[in-house]
Amino acid sequence: MKYVRFGETGLTVSQFCLGAWHLPGSGVNDEFGIEKVDAETFGRIVRKAYDLGINFVDGANRYHGRMSTADLDHVGNSEKLLGAVLKDYERESWVVATKVRGPMAPWPNGQGLSRKHIMWQIRESLLRLDLDYVDLYQIHWEDNTTTNVETLKALNNLVDRGLVHYLGESNHSPANVVEFMETASRLQIEGFASMQEPYNLLERRVEGETLPVAKKYGMAVMAYVPLAQGVLSGKYLSGVEAGSRASYISQVAGQYLNQETAAAVGGLLEIANEKGITLPQLALAWMLNKQVDLGLTIVPILGITKVAHLEDNVGSLDVRLTGDDMQRLEEIAAGAKLGPQSY
């Protein structure tokens, strides 16, 4: 495993982060008709990740594991499952990240980035995770009803109390991130160590305005959907399989599943075959090289449902790509057609 510095902090994390949004399904539905997570398989994945050297795991208070957007009957499930596995490890051997913002209750203060909601949800997340603190606490998306000053001061209070070690943001506009960071500088308080954004070989919109903001402020970039919801595994070239993300996240089809994108993925698969590697390894190796080109720390978040997939993904660390390879990959990927974001 390769380890990288987390932005301009002193924190060291593995080059890959294990994600807790898309977890293995059990094939059994609960009383609400929602598929349950296969907790045993998830535990094996976490343990294999640790054995491979991954020390970084990312979740959110809202995640269920088998739902794109969890309802109030299912929020918190992912944190509970993760906490049950992490209890078997020395706490300091893991870097644990979670998020706050989304609906967690039906009452007026049941969501948002107010001081009240943040103070409530850090307690709830720690209970679900069965931890005394989280390493990285991220604001999941924007809340235009709360001032950035209130949010920052509430988050800094958590840092001062030892409940959170580092702060991060996810899915915020570049302008809003700048406002947060400039406010933190003016008040001489903690700003964000990281941003979390969708980024992969097909979806590179953040390179325009978002990633330059990360570079300006020394923020690490946590790249979610690094395999484009599984599209860059090539699995959808032959249709949508039961249990795949596209089988229960309807927006995946609108974003990625079209003839142009399929042709691009087919071209990328040919290159992977030429090199004797898998398509996921090729796509992840591109991202690992891209962080050098961009002058940023980029940590892909891996959504894993099978141990074999994890082992394959980590194998991308051994893939070597030349400048010509990178150019060729980007030229092929440019032919993909992207619809609206599904997350």
DSSP letter string, 318-338: G----HHHHHHHHHHHTT---
SS3 81: helix
Q: How many CB atoms lie within 10 A of CB 245?
A: 24
Among 188, 171, 166, 180, which residue's Cα sits nearest to residue 217? 180
For the chain, the domains span: 3-229+287-318
Token pair in block for residue 265: 């993925």
First to last CA, the chain: 29
Q: How many CB atoms lie within 10 A of CB 168?
A: 26
Among 15, 85, 3, 96, which residue's Cα sits nearest to residue 58? 96
Considering the domain delimited by 3-229+287-318, tell me its CATH architecture: Alpha-Beta Barrel (3.20)
Question: What predicted TM-score, i.e. pTM, was given to this entire model?
Answer: 0.96
47 CB-side CA count, 13 A: 10
pLDDT in tens, the chain (343 residues): 999 999 999 999 999 999 999 999 999 999 999 999 999 999 999 999 999 999 999 999 999 999 999 999 999 999 999 999 999 999 999 999 999 999 999 999 999 999 999 999 999 999 999 999 999 999 999 999 999 999 999 999 999 999 999 999 999 999 999 999 999 999 999 999 999 999 999 999 999 999 999 999 999 999 999 999 999 999 888 777 766 777 667 778 788 889 999 999 999 999 999 999 999 999 999 999 999 999 999 999 999 999 999 999 999 999 999 999 999 999 999 999 998 876 6
Q: Are 230 and 243 in contact (CB under 8 A)?
A: no
List own/partner pairs for 71-74 with CB under 8 A and 24 or more apart.
72/103, 72/104, 72/105, 72/106, 73/32, 74/32, 74/34
DSSP string, 22-68: S--EEEEE-TTSPEEE-HHHHHHHHHHHHHTT--EEE--TT--SS-S
DSSP string, 229-252: GGGGGTGGGG-PPTTSHHHH-THH
CA angle at 278 for the pair 274 and 280, rounded to the nearest 5°? 130
Token pair in block for residue 190: 């903690």
| Angle between helices 39-51 and 77-86 in degrees, nearest 10 | 50
